[in-house]
Structure 1
Amino acid sequence: MILVTGGAGFIGSNFILDWIAGEQTPVVNLDKLTYAGNLENLAALQGDPRHVFVQGDICDGELVGRLLREHKPRAIVHFAAESHVDRSIHGPADFIETNINGTFRLLEEARAYWQALPQAEQAGFRFLHVSTDEVYGSLGPNDAPFSETTPYAPNSPYSASKAASDHLVRAYHHTYGLPVLTTNCSNNYGAYQFPEKLIPLIILNALNGKPLPIYGDGLNVRDWLYVGDHCTAIREVLKQGRLGETYNVGGWNEKTNLDVVYTVCAILDELRPAADGRPYASLITYVKDRPGHDRRYAIDARKIERELGWKPAETFETGMRKTVRWYLEHQDWVRNVTSGEYREWVGRNYGER
């Protein structure tokens, strides 16, 4: 049994599906079900006794402690987080509460649970904290990619809150001996991603003939990681990672935002041509850049390959094709998640740009 926080979100739900398919062991899934949490992501597990869902907040220490004592997990995999930079600019308070205070409360309850375990179970327990490459700040065009020893320099309320949570996790290992592991990943993409993020937003807007908004000049660079590869990396870190260590997880795919959008448009042109015959790239629209927009992220993922033997299975091209096909084949899911709240947010974020 493992406990997963935020398991109804994009990466968390993919991880649970991957875990149960690969490990065949049960998962307790604690998720608050905010706007980005969606149990429809886990519809394939409906009625499966290996998936135990609990709606709740990681800031609720009493609930977390009760779940730990009741289910006795051998590991906690901590995904639960507010994770969108644009939302953190509009409303940073939720990011401080969930990402910092929530991680602190989770660590406190994990520490109490772990310390009460028999010695043999203590030795096997793990707390795996899933974080982001954004904690490292921004790179220049010729700078070396982020490594696990790159100094932290977060530039948004989101990345600052994740940096704080990383520091807390590290401190609980060095102060209390809690057996922790941390992963810092690059930009994920794939099935079940809420369409506020670039790739599903572009797919959705293109299919509806709407403008494809590109911040600034579109030349901001990110490393792109297929979510299925990220899930296998987390499993490997949990299985054989060295305690107290950080592992950077990347896809070795540095692309500008424009590269990403043109790739999506080309795949859509092939798989679902527009009714008027125009290429989807004709919908690209440049909008005012967001405040403090980091110019470049890049991940050096050699440590996880060297120590744990992990490297991504998907190329950017194969992963993108799988992703676009998934959204084309799951339009009911898209319609269900693009609620009024979502439309209001898109209008608020892009309307003034």
Structure 2
Amino acid sequence: MNPRFHTLKIKNIRRETNDAVSFSIEIPSELKADFHYKPGQHLTFKRILNDVDVRRSYSICSAEYENELRVAVKKIPNGKFSSFVNDQLAAGDEIEVMNPMGNFTTEINANTTKNFVFFAGGSGITPIMALTKTILHTAKNSTVSLIYGNRGFSHIIFREEIDALKNMYMDRLSVMHIFSDEKIGNELQEGLLNKEKVTELYNAILEGDQVDEVFVCGPQPMIMAVKEVFEEKGMNHHQIHFELFTNPDQEAKEAAQHPTASQHIGERVTAQVSAIIDGEMMTVELSTDGKSILDAVNDAGGDAPYSCKGGVCSTCKAKVLEGKVFMDKNYALEEDEVEAGYILTCQSHPLTEKVTVSYDEW
């Protein structure tokens, strides 16, 4: 299914914390199939704010058995879209929404028998909630250990819902909150989720237990800490899933301040880059050390899909049909996807004089 935007209506909005809300979206019956999702996936939203086309991706926090499509948005200082959602969005408003995407998921069914360990930081709890609820509801022989980091107690998103799940699934769900800015009298639950803390937590609550899959969602330092600790404990990278949560505005500033990695990888070429979008092909001229393929295509009048432009969300994914390209960053594609020729066009630059990519190869 090719990604495309649909105009949908906000069903309701719920305040989760002082700086976070969740909202559900009405899905017309004719679009139900397009908005079928796997736990852990995200939605991309589009809105014109102050005459600027602003796009952001937010993870789905509901499970399909709940018969609603809900996301949560934490307000980021100076964040264009997150401020709009927290301060202005209202039930009944219409918004542009792209169909669900993302690889931060796993196969979950009634026969799944696994021990899952989840690490979440701040709003990184959103996809973790969808995974947790789906596992507990569907996979009766599986367990979940949730380690959730926040600044303090008042910053816990979904606190009441997490408590309700603990009471409902006492034998299968364990939850440990970690606070970076608040003292609660237990050193194990205080501090940042860095490598030292993750190691301490592993030794205290997971040592000797079988861990089948690890999911971690939050800021990059936390993700790297969890990956390093569990790889050192013998887990392979296929068992460790991560989703990076970033501030897209900060990503854009950093991208403008630093030269692209493609400027340092060899001979510069001027390429004819062809892009296939919804069955139609357009061609642009692009240098190796120039803008990204995504920006070149859209600046020339194309309508290639995108959201974060930081190599995180995979909305701009396309397949290379001809030629070679180089990606500056890749936080979203799995190894097998890259081997199959998929790229993040927001991070890609041509290495050969002729390149053809298709946004239709999903």
Is the radius of gyration larger for structure 1 or structure 2? Answer: 2
Query: Which structure's residues are more often strand, by fraction?
Result: 2
TM-score w.r.t. the length of structure 1 is 0.33
Q: Which has the higher contact order (CA 8 A, sep 6+)?
A: 1
TM-score w.r.t. the length of structure 2 is 0.32
